[in-house]
Amino acid sequence: MDKKNNKFISFIKKESFYVILFVCLCVVATVAAFTARNANKVTEQQEKGSVAMDINENEKKSTTQMIDAEQVKNTQSKTNNESKTNSQSKASNVTVPNSKAVSNNSKVSFINPIADGSIVRQFSDKPIKLQGFEKDTWTTLRGVAIAAKKGTPVKAAADGKVTEVEDGDGFLGYYVVLSHPNGMRTIYTNLDPQVVVKKGSTVKANDVIGKVGDTARMLKFESYAEHLGFQVVDSKDEQVDPTKLIKFDSQKSK
Give residues with Cβ within 8 angstroms of 176, minimum separation 6. Answer: 162, 164, 165, 187, 188, 191, 195, 197, 209, 210
pLDDT on residue 159: 97
Q: Which of 235, 242, 229 is nearest to 179 (CA)?
A: 235
How confident is the model at residue 17, as a pLDDT?
A: 62
Phi and psi, residue 61, nearest 5°: -60, -45
The Cα-based distances of 161 to 52, 118, 177 in angstroms read 86, 25, 8
How much of the chain exceeds pLDDT 70, in percent?
A: 56
Q: What is the CA radius of gyration of the chain?
A: 56
Instruction: Show me where the domains of the chain are located.
Output: 1-94, 106-244
**What is the fold of 106-244?**
Glucose Permease (Domain IIA) (2.70.70)
- For residue 249, pLDDT over 70 is answered with yes
Q: How far apart are CA 194 and CA 33, in angstroms?
A: 127
* DSSP labels, 23-43: HHHHHHHHHHHHHHHHHHHHH
pLDDT digits (tens, 9 = 90+) for 63-109: 444 444 444 444 444 444 444 444 333 323 333 333 333 345 478 99
C-alpha distance from residue 87 to each of 74, 81, 83, 97, 128 (Å): 19, 10, 6, 19, 59
Q: What are the tens digits of pLDDT across the range 95-154?
A: 333 333 334 547 899 999 999 899 999 998 888 777 777 677 777 789 999 999 999 999
Distance CA 216, CA 167 (A): 10
Rounded distance between C-alpha atoms, residue 108 and residue 205, angstroms: 10
Higher pLDDT among residues 8 and 164, named by residue: 164
Coil, helix or strand at residue 60? helix
Rounded to whole angstroms, how far apart are CA atoms 188 and 184? 14
* Structure confidence at residue 14 (pLDDT): 60
Which residues are within 8 A (CB) of 145 and not within 5 positions of it... i.e. 6 or more apart?
A: 119, 120, 121, 224, 227, 228, 229, 230, 254
Nearest Cα neighbor of 154 from 193, 110, 206, 113 is: 113
| Residue pair 250/212 in contact by the 8 Å Cβ criterion | no
